Amino acid sequence: MLLGKTAEKLRAVGVETLAIVASQAERSRLFFRYRPVRCAVGADPELSTHRAYGVPQGGVTPEAMQAIAGAYGELARELKLEVPADQARDIIGRLDGFEVTESENAEFQRHQLQFTGQFLVDRHGIVRWANIECAREGLAGIDKFPTDEELLAVARALP
Domain-wise residue ranges, the chain: 2-58+100-157
Q: State which fold the 2-58+100-157 domain adopts.
A: Glutaredoxin (3.40.30)
53 pLDDT band, cuts 50/70/90, is very high
Distance CA 15, CA 30 (A): 27
Using the predicted structure, report yes or no on whether residue 48 has a pLDDT greater than 90. Answer: yes
- The pTM (predicted TM-score) of the whole model is 0.79
Q: How confident is the model at residue 104 (pLDDT cuts 50, 70, 90)?
A: confident
Distance separating alpha carbons of residues 155 and 52, to the nearest angstrom: 22
User: Does 137 have pLDDT greater than 60?
Assistant: yes
Query: Regarding beta strands 57-58 and 113-114, do their DSSP bridges make them parallel or antiparallel, or are they unpaired?
Result: antiparallel
Q: What does the CA dihedral 6, 131, 119, 77 come to, rounded to 10 degrees?
A: -30
Instruction: Compute the mean pLDDT over every residue in the chain, rounded to the nearest whole number.
Output: 87
| Whether the predicted pLDDT of 30 surpasses 90 | no
